[in-house]
A and B are shown apart, each in its own frame.
Chain A
Amino acid sequence: QQIQEEMNKQFFDNLVSFLRRSHSEFQEKATEWTCRMKSREIPAAALVLGVNVTDHDLTFKSLTEVIQNNITPYVTSLQAKDCPGIKNLMQKLMGQLMNCYVDADSSDEEDCAQISQNRVRCSMTSLINWYENITKKTDSETPSRKRTSSRHLQSPPVVVIFKDMESFTTKVLQDFIVISSQHIHELPLILIFGIATSPMIIHSLLPHSVSSLLCIELFQSLSCKEHLSTIIDKLLLTTRFAFKLSEKVLQVLINIFLYHDFSVQNFIKGFQLCIVEHFYSQPLSVLCCQLLEAKKRVNSLSHSQCENIRRLPSFRRYVESQESEKQIALLTSDNSLKEAVQKLLEDLHIYHENYVPVLKCLHVFTSSLPKYPLGKQIRELHCACLESRVWETEDYESSLQLARMLNKSDLVTMLQKCVEIFVSSSGKEFDKVVEKLKDFLAQFEKLEGACQEQEESIPSQKELQKKTDLYHLQKTLLELKESRRSKKLTKFEMLRFEVVDFIDSLVRNYLVPADHKTLHEIMYFNTASALREHLNAAPRIALHTALNNPYCYLKNQALKSDGGSISNKAPDICIAYKLHLECGRLINLVDWLEAFSTVVTAVEGPNGDAAVSDQVDDIIHARFIRAVSELELLGFIKPSKQKTDHVARLTWGSC
C-alpha cells in the first residue's frame, strides 16, 4: 500500500507540474492582454478550451493564481450551476470578491464584520461602493502596505471568470453584461469566458446589442491530443517509473480517450486504476520499483514468493532454455533463484533504458515518411513495438523501403536528431552507436563536398548547351540523366543503405516486445479486460445477457439452452422478458399473463385437483406480477394509457 501511495504521488506531482507548464504560455498571453486592456467597452477574453470539460478546472485554477499574483487581487470565478438567476449571480460575485479581498490582506477584523453585513444586500451600487472603498484605502494606506499593492495597477481591475459559458442561461448573462456596461467607469471589469465548443457560441448566446458592448479577444488552448502525447511521453516513455503498461491496456486507455471523452483526467484515472489493480492482484509487484530497491527486496523474499516467481510463465520459459544442472538449481534452491532473479531484473532495467531512445530514434525516421505506415504519433509506434516483433510486420517493411528513398538533407537532419537522442539518454551501450552515427554524418559531409562539385559542373554544362539546337539538347540531357543515375548509385546510395540497415539492426536488437522478456509480469500490467469492465462498463449488455441467457451466471445444467428458445425452468423474470421480446410496441397484459402461465405450468406438470390448481394459479399470478414490476423497475416497459391494461415497450428489436 505504501508503495502505491508513493507511486501515485509521484505521478500526480509530475502531471500537475506538466499541465501547469503547458498552460503557462497560454496564460501568459491572456494575462498580458488583461494588463493592456483599458477601453470604454467591457474587455472580454474568450478561451476556447475544447470539449474535455473535466480538465478545465485545473486550467482555471492556475489562471486565477497567475492573475492574482500579477495583476489584481480581485478574481472571481462563476459556474453556471450557481447562477440560475441574476440575483444569485450577483450574490456569488459579491461574496467571492469580498473573500478575495480578505484573502489578499487578511488583517482587519472590522472588515470581516462589514462584509458579512453587506452580504445580505448585494446590488451593483453596493459593489461599486465597496470597490471605491478599497481603492481609496489602498491609495491612502501606509507605505508598507502600498508596496504590496504596488505590484498591481493603480486601480486594479476586477476579473470575472465564467467557467462554462455554454451552460449559462442567456438571460442572466445578457443582463449581467448590460448592467456592468453601465458601470464600467466606476468599476473596471474584465470578463473571461471559458468556451468548450467554438467561438460561434458567443454570437448565438448574445444578441448583437449585447455583444457590441464587449470587446472580445480570442485565445486558443492546446488541443487535448497534444496533451495526451506529452503525457504519454512523460509517463510511459521514461525509465523513472518502474511500472509499465502492456500494449492492450494502453490501447484501451487511448481508445477511451480518443473515442469517448478526450479527457486527460480520465486517462490519468485509468492509469491510476491500473496501478491499483496491478499492486493488488499481482503478488510479485513488490519488486516493481527502482533497481537498487528491487535488489534489496529480492534478498528478503520468502519461500512462497519464490514459488510465485517459479510459477510465472515467462520464468518457466527461461528455465527451460537453461541447462539441466542450472534448471535443478533454479527450481529447488531459493538462493540461486534469487541470484538469477537479480540478474534478470538488471537485464530488464537495461532493456528499458535502451528501449526508449531507440524507439524515439525510429520514430524520427518513420514520422516523416509519406502516409505514415507505422503511425504519426510515437504512441502508435510504441503500441506496435509492444504488440509483436515490429520488424516482422508489413508496415515496418514498407517504411524501411520508403526510408531507402529519402533524400540527403532529410537523412542528415534525422541522423543529427538521433545523435541528440542517444547523447541525452543514460544508456551505457550507446557510445558505440553515437560514434557510428557521427561517423555517418562525417561521411555525409564529405559527400556534400563531392556533390557540390557535381552541381557546379552541371550548370556549366547546361550553359554550354543553351546555345545549341534542340536535338543536341535532348541528347545531352539524356546522357546527363544516365550519368547522374550511375553516379548516385555510387557513394550516397551505398551510404544510405548502410544507414538504414544500421537503424534496422538497432531496432532488432533493442525493440524486442516486452512479452518476450523474462519476468516482465512484475513490471507490466496486462489485464485489459478488468480495466475495460471498471471504466467503460456496459450495464445494458449485462442486463441483457442475464435475462436472455441466465446460464452465464447461474451454472445450472437445467438452464443450458441453445439461443432463442425459452427454457421454462429459467427464473420468472427471464421468462417474462423473453415473452415480452416477441411483442411489438404495446403489450396486452392478459395475453402476456396467459403465455407466462402456460410456460410456467409446463414445468409443474398437469395438476388434476381443481382446488389445488386454483391455488397454483394464484401463485403464478403473483409471480407474474413480480416479474412485470421488476421489468418496469429496470425500464423495459412502462404503463401505457393508450389502451386499457396495456404496457408500452421501451426497447425495440430483440434487445
Chain B
Amino acid sequence: LLNKKMKEDKMSNLVEEYFEAHSSSKVLTSDRTLQKLQKRRLNQETLRDLLKKAPLPFAAEIKELNQQHESLFSKWMLQLHLGFNIVLYGLGSKRDLLEKFRTSMLQDSVHLVVNGYFPSITVRSILNSITEEVLEHTGTFRSPLDQLEFILKRFKEDSSLELYVLLHNLDSQMLRGERSQQILAQLSSLPSIYLIASIDHINAPLMWDQAKQSLYNWLWYETTTFSPYVEETSYENSLLVQQSGSLALSSLTHVLRSLTPNARGIFRLLAQYQLENKDNPSYPGLSFQDFYQQCREAFLVNSDLTLRAQLTEFRDHKLIRTKRGADGVEYLLIPVDDSTLTDFLEKEDEDG
C-alpha cells in the first residue's frame, strides 16, 4: 500500500512538473548567442578530426559491456528462428554490435543491412533491394503495396528462401511514418524473414499500435553500449555545426564580391532596411514599389526593369525571398538571420 501511495505521489509530481515547465510562455534564459562567442563555427570535417583526438573514456568497461551483449548472439539466432523479431534499445550506438552479429553469425546466409539513419532511405529502396537482389526479379511495381504483396507471395511459395534483415535505427526520420512502419511490420511478420532492429529515440515505441506490434512480434533486448553515435549523428543537422543548406556569412560575401557596385548597393539597402525593422515582428518585408523608389533616390537603378533583373539574380543565388502579402503586393526579404546580416554590414563598412 505504501508503495502504491509513493507511486501516486510520484505521478502527481510528474504532472505538476509538466505544468510548471509549460505554464508561462516567458522563458528565463540569457540572451547570449553563439555569434558573440568569438569562435569560428566548426564544420563537419574539423569536428571529426577534433573528436578523433579526444580519447574515449572507459574503453575497458565499454568493451566488457559489448562482450556481455555478444554472448547473446546464439540465443538471438534461436529466437529469430522461432518467429520472434528482436529489437535493441539502450544508450549508445548499436551499429557496431549489429555489425559484429552480422560478421560472426550471418556469414553464410542471405542478409540485408539497412541503414535507417541515412537521410535519403525509403521503404521503397528497402523493398527494391529485396526484390532485385534477393529475389532477382527485374520489374517495376506500381506501388509499394504491390511490391510487398509480390514479396509476401514469393516467400510463402518458396520455403527455402530465408532472409535476415539488420535494420539500424528503425526510428529514424525517414522510416518513422505510419505507412512505412506498416510495410516493415508486414515484412517482418513473414516467418522466413528475420528482422533485428535497433531503436534510439525515447518515444520510438509510440510508432506502433497493437496491430503492428503483433505483426512485429518483438522481443526486447537492452543493449546499452555507451559508444558514440558517429554515423548516426553525422547526418543530424546540429545547430552548432555549420550547415551547408542555409546561407552563411562566408557564402554571402563570396557571392556579393562578384557583383557590380550598384548591385551590392541594392543589397545593402535592403539589408539596412531589414535591420532597422528587426524588432517589429509584423514587418512583412519591403514592398517592391518602395524599394524601387529608394533605389532610384540613391541612384542605384534607373528603371523598373533593371531592378527586376537584379532581383532575379539575387533570387537565383537565394539571397532574397519574395512573399506576397495579404494585399497582393510583393514583399522582399533576406532569409538570413539578423546577426549574420549585421556582421555582413560591418564587414562591408570595413572593406568599403
Contact = CB atoms under 8 A, between A and B. Distances in A.
A649 to B, nearest CB: 8
A183 interface: no
Residues of A in contact with B, size category: 35 or more
Nearest to A81: B182
B328 interface: no
B141 interface: no
B224 A553 contact: yes
A534 B229 contact: no
Contacts of B204: 539
B200 to A, nearest CB: 6
Interface in A606-634: 618-619, 621-626, 628-630, 632-634
9 contacts: A534-B219, A539-B220, A542-B224, A591-B30, A622-B42, A623-B51, A632-B238, A644-B35, A652-B22
B140 interface: no
Nearest to A51: B210
A550 B90 CA distance: 12
Contacts of B33: 590, 644-645
Interface stretch (A216-224, A261-269, A518-526): A261-269
Given A539-B205, A622-B51, 17 more contacts: A52-B210, A276-B78, A539-B199, A543-B202, A553-B91, A571-B58, A586-B27, A588-B30, A621-B42, A623-B54, A626-B233, A628-B239, A629-B238, A633-B200, A644-B33, A654-B17, A655-B14
Interface of A: 1, 4, 8, 52-54, 81-82, 261, 263, 265-266, 269, 272-273, 276, 280, 533-537, 539-540, 542-543, 546-547, 550, 553-556, 559, 569, 571, 573, 583-591, 593, 618-619, 621-626, 628-630, 632-636, 639, 642-647, 649, 651-655
Contacts of A619: 50-51, 53-54
A651 B20 CA distance: 12
Contacts of A589: 34, 239-240
B1 interface: no
B4 to A, nearest CB: 14
Contacts of B79: 276
Nearest to B18: A652
Among A542, A626, A651, residue most surrounded by chain B Cβ atoms (within 10 Å): A626
Contact of B22 (A1, A585, A628, A644): A585
A639 B239 CA distance: 7
Interface string B67-107: 00000000100110010100001111000000000000000
Interface in B199-240: 199-205, 210-211, 213-214, 217, 219-222, 224, 226, 228-229, 232-233, 236, 238-240
B65 A553 contact: yes
Interface residues of B, number: 72
Nearest to A639: B239
Nearest to B50: A622
B29 A537 contact: no
Interface string B3-40: 00000000001100110111000011111111111010
Contacts of B13: 653
B231 to A, nearest CB: 11
B294 to A, nearest CB: 28
Contacts of A553: 61, 65, 91, 224, 226
B62 interface: yes
A272 B29 contact: no
B343 interface: no
A587 B29 contact: yes
B233 A266 contact: no
Contacts of A624: 240
B88 to A, nearest CB: 10
Contacts of B125: none
Contact of B222 (A263, A542, A547, A635): A542
Contacts of B200: 633-635
Contact of A53 (B42, B201, B211, B236): B211
A606 B337 CA distance: 37
Contacts of B217: 269
**Smallest CB-CB A-B distances: 6 pairs:** A653-B17, A537-B220, A622-B50, A546-B91, A54-B214, A554-B61
A555 B61 contact: yes
B333 to A, nearest CB: 15
Among A539, A623, A642, residue most surrounded by chain B Cβ atoms (within 10 Å): A539
A276 B202 contact: no
Contact of A622 (B22, B47, B145): B47
Among A269, A272, A652, residue most surrounded by chain B Cβ atoms (within 10 Å): A652
Contacts of B201: 633-635
A276 B76 CA distance: 11
Nearest to B143: A88
Contacts of B219: 273, 534-535
A269 B221 CA distance: 16
Contacts of A559: 58
Contact of B228 (A266, A630, A644): A630
Nearest to B87: A537
Contacts of A54: 210-211, 213-214
B245 interface: no
B110 interface: no
Nearest to B29: A588
Contact of B233 (A621, A630, A653): A630
B298 interface: no
B175 to A, nearest CB: 14
A633 B232 contact: yes
A84 to B, nearest CB: 10
B249 interface: no
Contact of B57 (A571, A621, A633): A571
A584 B21 contact: yes
A6 B14 CA distance: 48
Contacts of B51: 619, 622-623, 626
A488 B84 CA distance: 63
Nearest to B74: A280
Nearest to A636: B202
A307 B79 CA distance: 28
B214 A263 contact: yes
B29 A646 contact: yes
B99 to A, nearest CB: 18
Contacts of A546: 90-92, 224, 226
Interface string B157-175: 0000000000000000000
Given A534-B219, A633-B201, A633-B232, A280 B210 contact: no
B306 interface: no
Contacts of B214: 53-54, 263, 265-266
Contacts of B233: 626, 629-630, 632-633
Given A280-B75, A535-B219, A633-B233, A554 B65 contact: yes
A584 B29 CA distance: 9
Contacts of B211: 53-54
A642 B65 contact: no
A628 B18 CA distance: 22
B302 interface: no
B149 to A, nearest CB: 10
B65 A263 contact: no
Given A263-B214, A546-B224, A642-B27, A628 B240 contact: yes
